[in-house]
Amino acid sequence: MFLQNSPPTKEDALKVLRQFLCVDLSSAPLDYALIRSSLLLVVDQSDYQIFGICADSFEQGKQTLSSYLTALNYEEMPDVSGVMDGVVYIKYNPKTGRSHAEPYTGVHRGVLVSCQSAYDGDVNETFGHLPIDLFAEG
């Protein structure tokens, strides 16, 4: 399903990431290295990103957001406050510094990355749901 080598072009990276558009790939074999390199390439082709995390718990959502932000070289980490039981949706906009968390009743789990650009030739697209553990340590 996924290419075996790192994507050499923006078009190849977009093709890899577009496979995640709100579909369940939980049983598909995933090439995490390829997904990571594709995401890093398209992030580099956008001005900033907005993140949405659909996770099984509030703590998992916060950890996932932190791992993605670290991997994408964001220095500031949001103060996502609150305590919730059950499935959660966390949204974070690094440009404004605003974060929001709420209970989530949907079936999808993963990360939405919305790339925002001022120019037409750059990436203006949302990708996901990407794997929760894409940038998990260990």
- Nearest one of 88, 89, 97 to 69, comparing CA atoms: 97
Structurally, what CATH architecture does the domain formed by 10-130 represent?
A: 2-Layer Sandwich (3.30)
Q: What is the pLDDT of residues 82-135, one digit of tens each?
A: 778 999 999 999 999 999 999 999 999 999 999 999 888 889 899 999 999 999
Phi-psi group of 110: left, alpha or beta (phi > 0 → left; psi -120 to 50 → alpha; rest → beta):
left
Identity of the highest mean pLDDT range in 9-13, 18-22, 39-43: 39-43
Tell me the whole-structure pTM to 2 decimals.
0.86
Spacing of C-alpha 92 from chain mean position = 11
Are 87 and 54 in contact by the 8 Å Cβ rule? The answer is: yes
Residue 128: phi, psi to the nearest 5?
145, 165
**What pLDDT, on a 0 to 100 scale, did the predictor assign at position 27?**
64
Q: Work out the pLDDT band at 2, boundaries 50, 70, 90.
A: very low
**CA-based R_g, the chain, Å:** 14
- Would you list the domain boundaries of the chain? 10-130
Q: Work out the pLDDT band at 23, boundaries 50, 70, 90.
A: low
